[in-house]
Amino acid sequence: MKLEHRVSVAAPRAKVWAALMDLPAAARCVPGTRDVASADGGVRGTLDVRVGPVKLALAGTVAIESRDEAAGTARLRVDAADQRIGGAVRAFVDLVVSGDDPTELLVSSDVAILGRIGELGQALIARQAGKVLAGFADCLRATMAAG
Amino acid sequence: MRPFEYREPDTLDEALALLGEDTEDTLVMAGGTSLVILMKQELIRPARVIGLRRLAQLRAIDATGAVGGLRLGALATHGALARSDAVRTHAPALAATFAAVATVRIREQATIGGSLAHADPAQDPPVTLLALDGVAVAMSKDRARRIPLEGLFVDVFETSLEPDELLVRVELPPLPAGSRVTYKKFLPTTLDDYATVSVAAVVATDDAGACTHARIALGGAGPVPLRARDAERSLLGRRLDDAAVREAAALAAAATDPMSDLRGSAEYKRAMAGVWTARALREVA
Amino acid sequence: MSRHRVRFSLNGAPVDVTVPAERLLVDLLRDDLRKTGTKDGCSVGVCGLCTVQVDGAPLSACLLLATQVDGTAVRTVEGLSSPLQEAFIQEGGFQCGICTSGQLMAADALLRAKPDATSAEIADWQMGNLCRCTGYYGIARAIATARSMR
């Protein structure tokens, strides 16, 4: 399942980049996350999210697979297992940062849903994933604006 | 299915007290058709289920006397509502909407309250109830409040009900004199399915044929059942001729935000919303 | 977690059992009470194989908790005595038989409520009982025939 989200941030590119690469801080900006901690060059945590009538608790890690600051691109790898109904989520998230105050951020995710979570249906999952991304974007924008 | 604690209160007060004392991992069961499936699939695993089947007073279906409105108890089944003289008198299309739900077995078990609280945007009853300006009444241990249906549906499978609230009835105001109501359900596959898209339309016209009242509600066309307000406004003061119907249908389609799924792509559903809005309006013109 | 006493009449005879809250009616009937005429097909209330009557209404036993029939009168195919059964034999209303219990319980509920149900009403009512063998014509003929056999 491919998802795309764009956000415009009123902050210098370097600042946006730094915020994105600080995974623990960025993770806390995703609505519904808890128990966020650094782990093996990445970040560990749990995302509580509702998909339809079903509550999920996705516990896992996010790591930086590759990054190119000059080009403004990075690839993140997400690995999470659901603690409530079982199943897993694996994703590659490509970040592209362009422009400079305002800085444009493009988040492209390639998400694989494994196991029981898949029973909820792609339409619903995509919708909720989009909401989570939108929440992250709002938080990022607000954090940058706050200085 | 995971073991759970099941409670069957004998009165509404008891049910509200039970719900009020602990909402954590507690779910309420009306007919149970949606809940039992989700629990069997273990997609939801409540620690506690409060069954409402003993609350007979919530099954009542009443016309509100000379005023011309309708009061539907939350535990009234779709089948009982389809057969009800009060419902048929208020609007035959409303009775037809309840009769359009799934199969006879589901209609005899599933309830209007459960259906509204479940908030699946492809369900039938919420669409017509929305077009008829329905208001939900929700109660908790400490308070009661009225929620116009448009404000009840927040997102797919999500309502604005608080965890300690029970939806106890739906109230419909009297229809403007001379109103015509229709419900169109488009199912290209099997007749027992949810709609791909559905349209409920309510129209009243004056002696000159100009529209004085218009409601267009759409199902399966977005994350929640929605009112096509721009389309409604476009009809007011006009005769419902071809041009008016076409314009309203286009506005209704533009108001949709469908999800692509097994019943059709978003583009297809949007197009069908336009087609079926036109058909509904021609019927009540 | 919680256990419940469930008292109901089954085909006219009293039943008094204690079951866990999560016990489904279809499993109570088939496994605990050995009434295997009711079948468990799709498990989601769509196919109609598990159709039983509760206080005269056709319901999916796979979608009912056993506790939901406390105080009711339940009828299964084992308790059926109806011209429908002869009509199904006469008119070729079954082949493998897996849907037959459900077809009969649904049709019986219809003819009790509406002895003069039209063909259209029969088709609409029976719509929720799926059959893979007969193509439905034999079933429809059988129910129509049973109408006049009363």
Q: Where are the domains of chain A?
A: 2-145
| pLDDT tens digit at each of 285 positions of chain B | 999 999 999 999 999 999 999 888 899 999 999 999 999 999 999 999 999 999 999 999 999 876 789 999 999 999 999 999 999 999 999 999 999 999 999 999 999 999 999 999 999 999 999 999 999 999 999 999 999 999 999 999 999 999 999 999 999 999 999 999 999 999 988 889 999 999 999 999 999 999 999 999 999 999 999 999 999 999 999 999 999 999 999 999 999 999 988 899 999 999 999 999 999 999 999
| pLDDT at residue A147 is higher than 70 | no
For residue C42, what is the nearest residue in chain B, using CA coordinates?
B37
| pLDDT at residue C144 is higher than 70 | yes
Chain C, 3-22: which have a CB under 8 Å from a chain B CB? 4, 20-22
* CATH 3.40.50.150 applies to domain B180-284: no
Domain residue spans in chain B?
Answer: 5-51, 56-172, 180-284
| pLDDT at residue A137 is higher than 90 | no
Q: What pLDDT shows up at residue A41?
A: 80
Considering CB atoms only, which of C20, C43, C68 is closest to B32? Answer: C68
For residue C55, what is the nearest residue in chain B, using CA coordinates?
B108
Q: What pLDDT shows up at residue A124?
A: 85
Q: What pLDDT shows up at residue A134?
A: 87
User: Closest by alpha carbon to A22, among A53, A62, A71?
Assistant: A62
C-beta separation of B278 from B235 below 8 A? no
Contact yes or no for C60 and B106 at CB 8 A: yes
- What average pLDDT does the structure give for chain A? 90
Task: Give B161-182 pLDDT, tens digit per residue.
Answer: 999 999 999 999 999 999 999 9
Stretch C42-53: mean pLDDT: 97
pTM exceeds 0.95, yes or no: no
Residues of C in contact with B25 (CB under 8 A): none
**Interface residues on B facing A, Cβ-Cβ cutoff 8 A:** 34, 38, 41-45, 118, 156-158, 223, 259-261
Stretch C73-82: mean pLDDT: 97
Q: What pLDDT shows up at residue B66?
A: 66
Tokens 């309006």, located at residue: B281
Nearest 5 degrees, angle CA B92-CA B35-CA C4?
A: 115
- How far is B190 from chain C, CA to nearest CA, in Å? 9
Residues of B in contact with C64 (CB under 8 A): 32, 36, 109
Q: What is the share, in percent, of chain A residues with pLDDT greater than 90? A: 58
Hey, what amino acid is at B117?
A
Stretch A116-145: mean pLDDT: 86
Distance CA A102, CA A35 (A): 32
Q: What pLDDT shows up at residue C150?
A: 67
Contact yes or no for B259 and A120 at CB 8 A: no
Contact yes or no for B53 and C64 at CB 8 A: no
Tokens 């003993």, located at residue: B54
Q: Domains of chain C (ranges plus CATH)?
A: 3-78 (3.10.20.30), 80-149 (1.10.150.120)
- How far is A15 from chain B, CA to nearest CA, in Å? 35
Q: What pLDDT shows up at residue A120?
A: 85
Considering CB atoms only, which of C63, C125, C128 is closest to B32? Answer: C63
Contact yes or no for A122 and B223 at CB 8 A: no
Task: Give A29-57 pLDDT, tens digit per residue.
Answer: 999 999 999 988 899 999 999 887 888 99
Determine how many CB atoms are found less than 10 A away from the CB of residue C62: 26
Q: What pLDDT shows up at residue B262?
A: 87
Q: What pLDDT shows up at residue B23?
A: 84
What class, spelled out in words, does domain B5-51 have in CATH? alpha beta
C-beta separation of C48 from C129 below 8 A? yes
ipTM of this complex: 0.96
| A102 preceded by a cis bond (ω within 30 of 0) | yes
The domains spanning B5-51 and B56-172 adopt the same CATH topology? no
Q: What fold characterizes domain A2-145?
A: Alpha-D-Glucose-1,6-Bisphosphate; Chain A, domain 4 (3.30.530)
Among A35-44, A71-80, B160-169, C47-56, where is mean pLDDT lowest?
A35-44
Among A5-14, C104-113, C117-126, C139-148, where is mean pLDDT lowest?
A5-14
| pLDDT at residue A117 is higher than 80 | yes
Considering CB atoms only, which of B42, B44, B223 is closest to A53? Answer: B44
* CATH 3.10.270.10 applies to domain B56-172: no
Mind giving me the DSSP string for B100-148? TSS-HHHHHH-BHHHHHHHT-TT-SHHHHHHHTT-EEEEE-SS-EEEEE
Phi/psi for C78 (5° steps) reads: -60, -25
C-beta separation of B202 from B181 below 8 A? yes
C57 touches chain B (CB under 8 A): yes
**Beta strand spans in chain C (E):** 3-10, 13-20, 51-54, 57-60, 73-75
Distance CA A87, CA B44 (A): 14
Stretch A76-87: mean pLDDT: 93
